[in-house]
Amino acid sequence: MSIAIRIDDILLAEAMAALGAEDGAATVATALRAAVASRGPSRAIPPRAVVGAAVPVAIDGDLLAEAGRAVGIESEGAVIEFALRQLIDRAARERALRELDGIGWHGDLDAIRLEGPGHAAP
């Protein structure tokens, strides 16, 4: 079963950029699958003023319903917005972690553990 729903084009573009995706429907499906997989507690979604035009996207209705149940949101549009925002946030966290790679502490944690408390690493 597939349903058609309108999505804020700016939010969809942000999610597609976060994934490096070119297909809006695939981006929404990825976001919904991630929402189902996380099954985290539902958070209230603040109202969002639609800045851009809405774009129609065909979505698997069963997947949308499962995602809504998983996160405790009834509105189809709110489920998609929640899932897209989660996807954008996750991509931003992963990007931030990659940017931290190579900076920071240099040492031998195993050696410090073997030496016990109160001993400084060489």
Do the domain assignments include residue 122?
no
Do the domain assignments include residue 44?
yes
Q: Render pLDDT for 34-64 as a digit per residue (tens, 0 to 9).
A: 766 665 544 444 444 444 556 677 788 899 9
Do the domain assignments include residue 41?
yes
Q: Is the pLDDT of residue 109 over 90?
A: no
Contacts of 64 by beta carbon, 8 Å cutoff, 6+ apart: 3, 5, 32, 76, 79, 80
The Cα 26–Cα 15 span in angstroms is 11
Q: Tally the domains of the chain.
A: 1
What pLDDT, on the 0 to 100 scale, is given for residue 28? Answer: 75
Q: Render pLDDT for 12-30 as a digit per residue (tens, 0 to 9).
A: 777 878 777 777 777 777 7
Instruction: Give residue 15's domain range.
Output: 2-115
